[in-house]
Amino acid sequence: MTTNRLFLILFFLIGIQASSLAQVKPKLQYSIGAGGSHDGANMLYGINCTNELNYRLGKRTSLNAGLLFYQSIGGLEKNEFAPGQRNLDNSSGFFITPSFKYNLIQRPSGFNLSFALGPTLQIGGEGYMANINYFNPESGPELVNFIDNYQRIGIFAELEAEWKTKNPNVRNAASISASGFDSYLQWYINATYKVRFGLGKK
């Protein structure tokens, strides 16, 4: 139900901007970026790499198509392991994300602060270690590895700051984004630095 409402909101906002298409010529932009990530469900940290294609609709609005890859590289929690046993907790995935972006702030200096919202499709999975010895805690934990594979749709939200460089066709950006699943918005948190290239005419 939440995803359906999100689609309706996006289509409504796009329709509002249709009248501005004749005044502002669309501009295509391509972005590449990388940064750090946090898996809040499994308490893991990792890295992300992202590619984005941006199509400007109006002076403040645009449509984005994003592809992000995330891979965990370590854990934030310390668990008790038996001798010779190591922590196998991990998570990774590809996130395919169409989104609608609106510039909240536009400065004459070229600084923009924008907010983006849209659905996201995760194709990936996770492995984690859990204690299955619930009924006899005196004997100590009995840790077992579990693996979950995902092909699921969630919600994506992003706050991004963008600014000019010496090259008028290249811009820098930094963003904080969240991908939520199963009513847990901050399942994945990404802090990403991007380089954005203009394509075609303004």
All structural domains of the chain: 2-6+28-69+84-199 (2.40.160.20)
Cα(140)–Cα(184) distance, integer angstroms: 31
DSSP 79: -
Identify which has the larger pLDDT, 12 or 156.
Answer: 156
What is the reported pLDDT for 69?
97
> What is the per-residue pLDDT across 101-119, written as a single tens digit (0 to 9) for each?
999 999 998 899 999 999 9
pTM for this entry: 0.78
35 to 30, 81, 90: CA distances (angstroms): 17, 31, 18
Distances in Å between the alpha carbon of 189 and those of 34, 44, 47, 201? Answer: 13, 11, 11, 34
pLDDT digits (tens, 9 = 90+) for 163-191: 999 998 899 999 999 999 988 888 999 99
Sole residue written with tokens 């811009």: 171
Report the alpha-carbon distance of residue 157 to residue 164 in Å, rounded.
23
What's the mean pLDDT in 41-60?
Answer: 93
Both tokens assigned to 23: 């005044």
How buried is 198 (Cβ within 10 angstroms: 0-12 exposed, 13-18 middle, 19+ buried)?
Answer: middle
CB 125 within 8 A of CB 145: no
